[in-house]
Amino acid sequence: MLAFIIRRLGQALLVLMAVGFVSFAMFKFMGDPVENMLGQEATAADRAELEERLGLNDPIIVQYVRYFQRAMSGDFGVSYRVGLPVGEVILERLPATLELAFLSGVIAISLGFVLGVYTAIRRDGYVANFIMTASLIGVSLPTFLIGVFLIWLFAVNLGWLPSFGRGDTRSLFGVDLAILTVDGLKSMILPAITLGLYQMTLIMRLVRSEMLEVLRTDYIRFARARGLSQKTVNFGHAMKNTMVPVITVTGLQFGSIVAFAIITESVFQWPGVGLLFINAVNFVDIPVMSAYLLLVAVIFVTINLIVDLLYFTIDPRLSVGSN
Amino acid sequence: MTKTFLKLTAASVALCAGLSAVNAETLRWARAGDSLTLDPHAQNEGPTHTLAHQMYEPLLQRDMEAQIIPALATSWEPTEDPTVWEFKLREGVKFHGGEDFTADDVVFSFKRAMMPTSAMKELLNSIKDVRKVDDYTVHFETNGPNPLLPNNMTNLFIMDSGWATDNGCEAPQDIANGGDNPCVRAVNGTGAFVLESRKQDSETILKQNPNYWGKGEFPLEVTEIIYTPIQEGATRVSALLSGEVDLIQDVPVQDLPIVERTDGLKLNTAAQNRTIFFGMNQGADDLASDTVDGKNPLADNRVREAMNIALNRDAIKKIVMRDQSAPTGVIMPPFVNGWTEALDAYPEYDVAKAKALMEEAGYGDGFGITLNCPNDRYVNDEGICQAAVGMLGQIGVKVNLDAKPKAQHFPLIQNKETDFYMLGWGVPTFDSEYIFNFLTHTSTDKLGSWNATGYSNPELDAKIKSLASETDQEVRNATIAEIWDTVKSENLYLPIHNQVLNWGMADKINFAVQPEDQPHFKFLTFN
Amino acid sequence: METQSPKGASARPEFTEKVATSTWQRWMDSDIWHSYKSKPVIVVSSLVFVTLVLGAVFSPFLSPYTPFDPSSLNLMNGFTKPFSANDFTGDYFFLGTDDQGRDVFSTILFGLRISLFVGLVAVLFAMTLGVILGLLSGYVGGWVDGIIMRVADIQMTFPSIMVAMLLYGIGKGLIPPDLRDEMAIWVLIISIGLSEWVQFARTVRGATMVERQKEYVQAGHLIGLKRWSIMVRHILPNVTGPILVIATISLALAIIAEATLSFLGVGAPKTQPSLGTLINVGRQYILSGEWWILLFPSLTLLALALSVNLFGDWLRDVLNPKLR
């Protein structure tokens, strides 16, 4: 078990290094940060001097090694754009993204489950068929369009919900969260739906197909034959069996929720790490971009590790090294 | 709320500060970008200066009509020695922290802004020394006479020397070496508003300064400002339409009619101090991106002339800019010293004549070239370029459009890696010399840094250099006129238009648009 | 679940797919035809899809204007309303014009062409890659299987838009500037394709593992048939059904992924806009009253993706014997 974890962590570190290198190789083509950092009055000499000071003239590999050495000691540099330490900026923004991802995950899972179970039980009903078709609309349009449309409908025309930002926040253990206030929750509804719609459809369809399959298994048939009520069979036995794969898949999707948050956050001016990343890209804020990509890599490595460990515990046949 | 009532309110605020909370008038303000830093000398950039202007003050500033008015200085003039300017400072001014404002703070702030890590140093490079004469008098010594010295100071903010030193930010922060300093997060200015809280890219709250020296001089009807950057144009306008904010800058041109149509909202408009134009590489022997071998079609003034009259500026104004632009024939907005109506006149759109000129120059069959264009810098920049591509196509110039984010576009101009490009130019000093220094002087280490046309005219360069120290205004203006004549007749640039600024706001707000896009909220009134 | 390996690095449940090995014969079975006929939604969506494909293929002949030839454009035609003539020029545009005076109907036809091209080629690329790796993994097993499945796991969790953004960044640096617009499409295809191959590989691997144990494959091996020929000739036909289902759903995913990327500025370039690029441009007119610039491309994309999705859905149900 320990060996397994160590091996996986080693692989994870390799992935991190690779992501870091790829991103460093890429930054060179994203533009010149110096251009944004100096005003229009700057002379060629000023620019050359700043480039030298930032170490942008060094070969990529040198910049990369230097960055990694510093990052290892927890120093991610100072943002070119806002002049604050990158670690601080990201930590300040991360709760906003995580709570948004959390709420959209909750919406996606709960709605996905309910609708999935319903459409499985009423397999050929009109309502079920309608839900199945309608749910596809959510995955047949790009996220940003859905977000813009929701703003147009609910903020501009109906005036029910805020169009941007995070609303009021309340501090919990020193972390500002919008999810704890009514105003904040209202601000979260539209972005959370935009972000969660895709996952909801995915989960609903998965629950439905898992349910359909379980409902056909012998033991459910026996349960029915034994005279257990429809409700007990459906919710007590059948649904329980669909849980594990659904939760696994949802976990695997966490990485893409964080990635898609880039789009949702830009549309709704949600001050999370996704918006930070987009701003960094526009400004060629190399320290922030590197740290963000590393963060995404860390998140996805962690998810992988957790999933692997889960399998390991669930299925003893997957004992390590047996092959 | 009636105006008289508010006036009464304001009066009672002055009498009894305790009441102000009851009659607080909050302004919720949004624009596309956030201020980048609270350090007043670390960035030379519009939105950063705008926020700083609410809390910090310069010696003199531009008001809502862009006229220079006294701020922390009460008078300024050259002494008998034209290289020394004397500034008299306002007395009895206190910083937000309670410290007295004196000449030491001015000397400290200017020296700080001239340090290598400052972003403001280029505006001050004519200054040789700043000296305290007494507590309320400061002398600026320049390298040679500089008649325009005050024009360079309108965004140069004064910090408290004691506070800055105590906090360890004697120098603007050095991003390269991981320098972090408290002045990036905190503010101690003399301005009309005090920083209450700030979350980068999210929300900044300012409260009115109860001890502001300008009470009675400025309306000061806003008691609280909540500033939120909203990047997406549609979201920003949505926030205004739904009443979540009271004032937005950067209204996308296509959304102007709906803001105007909506009950309870209005639109204020003013010409902006920024011209949009195309530059052409006319100095090179051969162009990298064209389809002509061995020669440079843009070197021929007839070709440049043809391109100039092939641009249908009125159509660009009408369709691309929705009437929100002022087509022009010169790369200078009307605010600038040197501007005349004759220069501003633009040639009539005439495809037949343009084609004839192309024929005459030997390019009857046209040629191909790449146009570099930003896509996130100016109002509808990419749309203007696309339109120009179509128009030039009609006279046989087959343009391949390369539109890129600003971070990739501007280095092309600075590194002279483009043959045909879009650029916009604002003139913070409101004088032609500024334009000549950057755009028409031969590109050297110091001057002509934005001149990617390859144009070099020693005679013109000499005239430009003479402007810096010419103290006789009439002679100076005559030289400016001569330079413009050359620039225009040579078709050095293809001017398109001057941008127009639009601010959308709630009906209750009285606020004129400032030509530099710099709202100063102490001037704002409610009706 | 036959896709689960008895041993190996790891195995995870499939989330769009649970199809047993079905045969080509079953695919041609009249049951399917019967099901098709009895589902009007499916009939309509397949007709819509075919119409859109035909529109894309014949777009050069169908479009009344040449929207991407700048010299043919008249700026004064900008923002013409649909179903009416322009006030100044008198030109008529069926679905109106955009900010540059381009005919929206024509731009949609060309956009459809790009969107479908990117989607189809990306899926083809993903399928080829996935099938080859799946066969290898399932048939050879051992460390080859271990590595391939490990990479697949990593690919699964790594968000597709991240892959695309990274690849796009690198691609932009490696490609000379004058070829960038043309190559942008291929960079897109590769990045989208790379995020879709795992499904194919997993399915093929599972089926291969089952088939490998069967007598006819063992026998073929004994009589000296080459491994590749056994795999290709005998195993592939068995997984045609599931692959088809995955391909259909991936096509919809790929088309939407491309549209989403255009928001981030890494989609199809404006000189060769896809439906996503058109929507991203049209998005700024949502409040301004020029609704046609946004609405028509959005509806087209919706029709395209929805019809593919519905068809894929139906295909999955009908090909899955467990659900019959």
Return the amino acid letter for C256: I
Q: At what angle do helices A60-72 and A286-314 cross, to 10 degrees?
A: 60
**Do A311 and C7 count as a contact with CB atoms less than 8 A apart?**
no
Q: What share of chain A is helix, strand, coil (3-state, %, to 5)?
A: 75, 0, 20
Q: What six digits make up the tokens of C111?
A: 């956009």
pLDDT band at B6 (very low <50, low <70, confident <90, very high): very low
Query: How far, in Å, CA of B38 to CA of B280, rounded?
Result: 38
Q: Taking an 8 Å Cβ-Cβ cutoff, which residues of chain C contact chain B?
A: 69-71, 73-76, 78-79, 99-101, 177-178, 265, 270-271, 283-290
Identify whether the C-beta of residue A194 lies closer than 8 Å to the C-beta of residue A268. Answer: yes
Which residue blocks in B394-490 are alpha helix, DSSP H? 406-414, 432-435, 458-467, 473-489
Picking from A160, A164, A183 by the largest number of B CB atoms within 10 A of its own CB, the best residue to mutate is A164
When the pLDDT of each residue in chain B is averaged and rounded to a whole number, the result is 89
Query: How far, in Å, CA of A272 to CA of A94, rounded?
Result: 6
pLDDT band at A315 (very low <50, low <70, confident <90, very high): low
Query: How far, in Å, CA of C101 to CA of A232, rounded?
Result: 63
**Span A72-128, pLDDT tens digits:** 888 888 888 888 889 889 998 999 999 999 899 889 888 998 998 888 888 778 888
**Span B77-117, pLDDT tens digits:** 999 998 999 999 999 999 999 999 999 999 999 999 999 88
Nearest residue, CB atoms, A140 vs list C11, C286, C302: C302
CB-CB neighbors (< 8 A) of C75 in chain B: 312, 315-316, 319-320, 387, 390-391
Sign of the CA dihedral running C63, C68, C69, C71: positive
Query: How far, in Å, CA of C17 to CA of B311, rounded?
Result: 57
Query: How far, in Å, CA of C239 to CA of C218, rounded?
Result: 19
Query: How far, in Å, CA of B124 to CA of B127, rounded?
Result: 6
Reduced to 3 states (helix: H, G, I; strand: E, B; else coil), residue B90 is coil
DSSP state of C82: T
Reduced to 3 states (helix: H, G, I; strand: E, B; else coil), residue C176 is coil
Which residue blocks in B287-440 are alpha helix, DSSP H? 301-310, 313-315, 341-344, 351-360, 381-393, 406-414, 432-435
CB-CB neighbors (< 8 A) of C69 in chain B: 393
B365: exposed, middle or buried (C-beta count within 10 Å: 0-12, 13-18, 19+)?
Answer: exposed
CA–CA min distance B387, chain C (Å) = 7
Give the pLDDT of residue A318: 46
Query: How far, in Å, CA of A244 to CA of A251, rounded?
Result: 11
CB-CB neighbors (< 8 A) of A152 in chain C: 286-287
The vertex-B128 CA angle with B127 and B132, nearest 5°, equals 90
Pairing of β B247-248 and β B26-31: parallel
Identify whether the C-beta of residue C194 lies closer than 8 Å to the C-beta of residue C155. Answer: yes
| Residue in the block written with tokens 């996606």 | A108
CB-CB neighbors (< 8 A) of B174 in chain A: 53
Q: What six digits make up the tokens of B235?
A: 């979201």
Nearest residue, CB atoms, B390 vs list C70, C265, C270: C70
pLDDT band at B489 (very low <50, low <70, confident <90, very high): very high
When the pLDDT of each residue in chain A is averaged and rounded to a whole number, the result is 82
**Span B242-251, pLDDT tens digits:** 999 999 998 9
Where does chain A show beta strands of DSSP type E? 170-172, 175-177
Nearest residue, CB atoms, C75 vs list B233, B252, B319: B319
**Do B234 and C287 count as a contact with CB atoms less than 8 A apart?**
yes
**Do B398 and C71 count as a contact with CB atoms less than 8 A apart?**
yes
> Which of 226-245 (B) contact C at CB < 8 A?
233-234, 237-238, 241
The residues that bridge with B425 in the sheet, in sequence order, are B275
Pairing of β B493-506 and β B247-248: antiparallel
Return the amino acid letter for A290: S
Nearest residue, CB atoms, C10 vs list A137, A205, A318: A318
CA–CA min distance B32, chain C (Å) = 14
Query: How far, in Å, CA of A204 to CA of A210, rounded?
Result: 10
Give the pLDDT of residue B251: 92
Nearest residue, CB atoms, C7 vs list A252, A262, A323: A323
Q: Is C63 left (phi over 0), alpha (psi -120 to 50) or beta?
A: beta
CA–CA min distance C246, chain A (Å) = 14
Give the pLDDT of residue B19: 38
DSSP state of B516: T
DSSP state of B101: P
**Interface membership of B267 toward C (CB under 8 Å):** no
Query: How far, in Å, CA of A161 to CA of A191, rounded?
Result: 11
Cα dist. B80→A240, B464, C109 in Å? Answer: 92, 25, 74
**Do C157 and A252 count as a contact with CB atoms less than 8 A apart?**
yes
Query: How far, in Å, CA of B375 to CA of B362, rounded?
Result: 33
Return the amino acid letter for B432: S
Neighbours of chain A (3+ CB pairs under 8 A): B, C
- How many H helices and E strands in chain A? 14, 2
Give the pLDDT of residue B20: 38
Give the percent of chain A with pLDDT over 70.
92
Nearest residue, CB atoms, C41 vs list A27, A28, A133: A133
Among chain A residues, CA nearest to B229: A269
**Do C70 and B234 count as a contact with CB atoms less than 8 A apart?**
no
Pairing of β B203-208 and β B367-374: unpaired
Give the pLDDT of residue A194: 93
Residue B16 has pLDDT above 60, yes or no: no
Picking from A82, A99, A154, A262 by the largest number of B CB atoms within 10 A of its own CB, the best residue to mutate is A82
CB-CB neighbors (< 8 A) of C152 in chain A: none
Nearest residue, CB atoms, C322 vs list A26, A132, A213: A213
The vertex-B246 CA angle with B241 and B247, nearest 5°, equals 95
Q: What pLDDT tens digit does each residue of chain C (324 aa) get? A: 333 444 333 444 444 444 444 555 554 556 777 778 778 888 898 999 999 999 999 988 888 888 877 777 788 888 888 888 887 777 888 888 888 888 899 999 999 999 999 999 999 999 999 999 998 888 887 888 888 887 887 777 677 777 777 777 777 767 776 676 777 888 889 888 888 888 899 888 888 887 777 777 777 777 777 767 777 777 777 778 888 888 998 999 899 989 998 888 888 887 788 999 999 989 989 888 889 999 999 999 999 999 999 988 888 877 765 554
**Span B31-56, pLDDT tens digits:** 998 998 899 998 888 889 999 999 99
Give the residue from C320, B31, C312 showing the smallest Cα distance to A201: C312
**Do A245 and C13 count as a contact with CB atoms less than 8 A apart?**
yes
Least trusted range by pLDDT, from A168-172, B234-238, B438-442: A168-172
**Interface membership of A80 toward B (CB under 8 Å):** yes
**Do B407 and A166 count as a contact with CB atoms less than 8 A apart?**
no
Identify whether the C-beta of residue A80 lies closer than 8 Å to the C-beta of residue B175. Answer: yes
CA–CA min distance A92, chain B (Å) = 9
Cβ-Cβ pairs closer than 8 A, B with C, add up to 66
Residue B4 has pLDDT above 50, yes or no: no
**Do A151 and B450 count as a contact with CB atoms less than 8 A apart?**
no
Identify whether the C-beta of residue C72 lies closer than 8 Å to the C-beta of residue C65. Answer: yes
pLDDT band at A270 (very low <50, low <70, confident <90, very high): very high
Neighbours of chain C (3+ CB pairs under 8 A): A, B
Query: How far, in Å, CA of B508 to CA of B488, rounded?
Result: 45
Output the pTM of the full model.
Answer: 0.85
Give the pLDDT of residue B250: 87
Give the residue from B506, B419, B422 showing the smallest Cα distance to B454: B419
Q: What are phi and psi of A118, to 5 degrees?
A: -60, -50
Give the percent of chain A with pLDDT over 90.
19
| Residue in the block written with tokens 């903020």 | A155
